[in-house]
Structure 1
């Protein structure tokens, strides 16, 4: 169940992304927004293990990607999150 998962452990600070991004503050803001979007987009009754897997894999999918600082607005982050969830559910 979704409400049993705390997303706080998946949020990052600018320090966490400083090795990959010059603007690590923007990168952290966008990363954290992506985490929040994923959490909001999944069904309320999603299996806890499935949600944990989705949130854990965001690090590999996005943390070092230069695209992280190139999102133009919240809609782009939402679109990325939707695509990410769809791709992960197909795997």
Structure 2
């Protein structure tokens, strides 16, 4: 159930994300926007474990991507929606 996942436990700070050549603030904003968007889009009755696994995809997928600081909110929304709609495929690709 969604209410058992505390989204604030996932949010990052500049100390966590590492060196981004002066773009640390933008990267923090984008990663945290991913987490908030994903959480907001997830249905209320999503299994807690499934939501946690899907939220882990955000860090695993995006932290090394050069385009991260420049992503538009629409791109973040679209990615989150895609992952939720195709969750079975994404969960099969994880090492859980």
User: If the length of structure 2 is used for normalisation, what is the TM-score?
Assistant: 0.81
CA-to-aligned-CA distance 1:32-59 (integer Å, 9 cap, x gap): 0000111111111000000011112221
C-alpha deviation, 1:67, in angstroms: 2.1
Segments ≥4 residues shifted beyond 6 Å: none
Task: List gaps (5 residues or longer) in structure 2.
Answer: none
2-structure distance, mates of 1:14, 1:25: 7
Equivalent in the alignment of 2:43: 43
Partner SS for 1:28:
helix
2-structure distance, mates of 1:7, 1:67: 24
Task: List gaps (5 residues or longer) in structure 1.
Answer: none
